[in-house]
């Protein structure tokens, strides 16, 4: 290791060598000059001039003269690495900015002139590859960020970080495409959802029902190229309790109750067999336990006035009306007793219409309404009136089961129950991807009132009640480690490493938002002076030209 003194001594020695070389050069020039004889005087003068020029160029190169320049730094454009010059030119022209800096150039100016940044007005950042240190030095400035993405590169993406099995995972984002191409969401070799995107800037939206429990990883592929890994955590599904109120036992209800039981639902069925005689059937429910607050009450419309239904709906739970024979009467009962606004239209004069093999429905159509959702392909709809009220115009569905078409049966009833499921407890809403060292928003809904803090990643974060929704609390957390991080007692979230263009974009977005909120005063400095000097290539050209002329001149005979 050399000591500091030694380094300085070495530099001084280096300088001395340069001066010695310059001295050597001028002696050489003079010697050559003296030895030249018998030249016309005008040639002599030219040769002298050229030699002086050469010597001056070299002396100036060694001295590196600087002069003061003035530049309009009210608005400057700072271009990140890996940004095409076409994009920089386009931004410069459209924003009418005169001063464009590369990151290296900008950092150099900062070290030369401590007031350089201070005197700048507004900074426009182009691209996303800026280091946080540089951005920190611009913290007092008004910053505008202009993203610059390549084609076929993700510009934005979002999905849910935690959700339950059976819920829909939705992956949406933005991308600019060179040509029309298929975007696929794949699980191993299996395509779950895909879309053919045309050329240009496109947004996409893919969805699929979650079919796993615990950690899950999918891939988003553009053509055959991996675009993004979609990693999320699937929770166990919520299983509701279903309560049947029946006037008389029937096969349809029995089949449905059995299917619900097999699906893991808690079921209780009360049937009036004769006056003052009720039969009770319970599935997945111990005899000692009473079913309190069922999530879904299933009954026929004749029971629409039953007090249990009203209570269920006030609590925000759901009611399903089925086994309907007289549609007009059923609609009337439901609308008056439960506050629904069903409107129906008779579609046929036949007694029933076919809606699939072994499946018929009443010849009516439920008209669409704002607070209503329909089960795709079947005359079944659910309206929201505080709680949810569902109505099914299907005739018996059990023949499907008898004819061994259990799949259709399963699809119909899981679609109906999916729409009827009342709000669940302990809902978690986190937008993925979560980036390491970036702020992540966490929303909790319908957690126990006493929950004050959230335990995650071996840390805890305080929860703030939401101003808009009293059952919701929010928090903001910065994950410091990438990979799977514990969340609450048994769940996990996946935190991505910050290396992609998208991660950097997210980081800049966050920083510029913070600065924007903080810096409202705009400075009015218009111009500032700073040192300018010739770039290295210009020196090279200059010295080379001088040497060439000195060499060429004696060879010319004139």
Partner 1 sequence: MYSQIQIEYLVAEVLGMIEVQTDTPKLTVIQKQKVLSLGNELTHQVMNSSLSDWAILGILQKMASDKPLSTTEKKDLKTKLYQLIRPSLLDKNSAIHSLYSNDKKLEKAFWKNLQ
CB of 211 to partner 1, least distance (A): 6
Do the bridges between strand 181-187 and strand 154-160 make them parallel or antiparallel, or are there none, so unpaired? Answer: unpaired
Is residue 336 a contact residue for partner 1 (CB under 8 A)? no
Whole-number minimum distance, CB 114 to partner 1, in Å?
A: 49
Question: Of 161-169, 455-463, 530-538, 548-556, which segment contacts partner 1 by CB under 8 A?
Answer: 161-169
Stretch that binds partner 1, among 55-63, 101-109, 467-475, 508-516 (CB under 8 A): 467-475
The window from 16-24, 29-37, 243-251, 383-391 that contacts partner 1 (CB under 8 A) reads 383-391
Q: Which is nearer to partner 1, 114 or 448 (CB)?
A: 448
549 contacts partner 1 (rule: CB under 8 A):
no
Binding positions for partner 1, 124-153, rule CB under 8 A: none
The phi and psi torsions of 45 (rounded to 5 degrees) equal -65, -40
Tokens of 197: 């995107």
What is the rounded CA–CA span in Å between residue 345 and residue 367? 7
Q: Does 341 bind partner 1 (CB under 8 A)?
A: yes
500: tokens are 């992609």
In angstroms, the Cα distances linking 14 to 9, 27, 282 are: 9, 20, 96
427 touches partner 1 by CB under 8 A: yes
Among 335, 358, 360, 415, binds partner 1 (CB under 8 A): 415
Q: Which of 471, 474, 488, 523 binds partner 1 (CB under 8 A)?
A: 471
On whether the CB atoms of residues 109 and 101 are closer than 8 A, the answer is yes
CA gyration radius, the chain: 39
Considering only residues 195 to 234 of the shown chain, the ones binding partner 1 according to CB under 8 A are 207-209, 211-217, 234
Q: CA–CA distance from 438 to each of 25, 157, 479 (Å)?
A: 60, 15, 7
| Piece in contact with partner 1 (CB under 8 A), picked from 43-51, 286-294, 466-474, 512-520 | 466-474
Residue selected from 6, 278, 314, 350 as contacting partner 1 according to rule CB under 8 A = 314
Number of CB atoms found within 10 A of residue 214's CB: 12
Q: Where are the beta strands (DSSP E) in 300-446?
A: 318-321, 344-346, 353-356, 359-361, 364-366, 372-374, 380-385, 387-392, 427-432, 434-435, 439-445
CB of 339 to partner 1, least distance (A): 8
Dump strand ranges (E) for 87-224: 99-102, 122-126, 142-146, 154-160, 162-164, 168-177, 181-187, 190-197, 200-209, 214-222
Does residue 547 belong to the site contacting partner 1 (CB under 8 A)? no
Question: Which two three-digit tokens encode residue 60?
Answer: 């100036």
The correct pick among 254, 423, 486, 547 for binding partner 1 (CB under 8 A) is 423
371 part of the interface to partner 1, by CB under 8 A:
yes
Using CB under 8 A as the binding criterion, the count of chain residues that bind partner 1 stands at: 62
DSSP annotation of 546 reads H
* Token digits of residue 184: 């696929």
Please tell me whether residue 316 binds partner 1 under the rule CB under 8 A: yes
Among 406, 476, 513, 527, binds partner 1 (CB under 8 A): 406
Binding residues for partner 1, per CB under 8 A?
164-168, 187-190, 193, 207-209, 211-217, 234, 238, 262-264, 314-316, 339, 341, 369-371, 373-376, 384-386, 406-407, 410-411, 414-415, 418-419, 421, 423-425, 427, 429, 445-446, 469-472, 483-484
């Amino acid at each position: 290791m050399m000591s500091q003194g030694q380094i300085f001594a070495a530099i001084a020695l280096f300088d001395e060598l340069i001066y010695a070389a310059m001295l050597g050069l001028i002696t050489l020039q003079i010697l050559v000059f003296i030895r030249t004889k018998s030249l016309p005087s005008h040639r002599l003068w030219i040769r002298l001039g050229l030699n002086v020029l050469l010597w001056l160029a070299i002396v100036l190169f060694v001295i590196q003269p600087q002069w003061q320049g003035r530049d309009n730094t009210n608005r400057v454009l700072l271009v990140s690495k890996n940004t095409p010059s076409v994009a920089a030119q386009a931004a410069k022209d459209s924003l009418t900015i005169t001063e464009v800096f590369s990151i290296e150039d900008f950092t150099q100016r900062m070290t030369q002139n401590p007031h350089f940044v201070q005197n700048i007005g507004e900074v426009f950042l182009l691209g996303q590859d800026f280091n946080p240190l540089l951005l920190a030095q611009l913290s007092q400035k008004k910053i505008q960020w202009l993203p610059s993405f390549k084609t076929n590169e993700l510009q934005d993406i979002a999905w849910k970080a935690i959700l339950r099995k059976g819920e829909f995972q939705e992956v949406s984002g933005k991308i600019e495409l060179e040509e029309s191409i298929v975007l696929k969401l794949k699980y191993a070799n299996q395509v779950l959802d895909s879309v053919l995107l045309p050329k240009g800037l496109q947004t996409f939206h893919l969805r699929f029902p979650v079919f796993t429990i615990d950690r899950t990883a999918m891939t988003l592929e553009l053509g055959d190229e991996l675009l993004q890994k979609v990693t999320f955590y699937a929770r166990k599904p919520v299983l509701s309790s279903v309560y049947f109120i029946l006037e008389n036992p029937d096969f349809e209800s029995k089949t449905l109750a059995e299917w619900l039981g097999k699906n893991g639902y808690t079921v209780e069925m009360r049937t009036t067999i004769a006056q003052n005689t009720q039969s009770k059937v319970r599935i997945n429910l111990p005899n000692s336990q009473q079913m309190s607050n069922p999530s879904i009450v299933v009954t026929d419309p004749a029971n629409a006035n039953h007090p249990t239904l009203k209570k269920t709906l006030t609590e925000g739970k759901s009611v399903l009306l089925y086994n309907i024979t007289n549609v007009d009467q059923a609609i009337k009962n439901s609308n008056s007793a439960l506050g629904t606004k069903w409107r129906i239209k008779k579609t046929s004069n036949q007694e029933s219409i076919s809606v699939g093999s072994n499946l018929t429905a009443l010849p009516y159509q439920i008209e669409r309404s704002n607070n209503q959702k329909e089960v795709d392909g079947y005359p079944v709809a659910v309206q929201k009136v505080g709680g949810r009220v569902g109505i099914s115009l299907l005739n018996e569905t059990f023949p499907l089961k008898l004819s061994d078409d259990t799949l259709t049966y399963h699809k119909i009833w899981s679609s109906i129950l999916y729409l009827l499921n009342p709000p669940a407890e302990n809902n978690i809403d986190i937008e993925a991807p979560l980036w390491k060292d970036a702020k992540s928003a966490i929303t909790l809904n319908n957690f126990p009132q006493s929950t004050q803090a959230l335990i995650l990643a071996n840390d805890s974060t305080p929860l703030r009640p939401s101003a808009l929704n009293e059952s919701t609390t929010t928090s903001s957390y910065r994950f410091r480690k990438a990979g799977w991080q514990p969340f609450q007692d048994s769940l996990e979230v996946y935190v991505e490493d910050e290396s992609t263009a998208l991660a950097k974009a997210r980081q800049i977005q966050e920083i510029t938002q913070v600065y924007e909120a903080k810096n409202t005063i705009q400075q009015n400095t218009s111009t500032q002076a700073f040192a300018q000097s010739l770039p290295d290539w210009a020196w090279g050209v200059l010295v080379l030209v001088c040497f060439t002329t000195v060499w060429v001149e004696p060879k010319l005979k004139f």
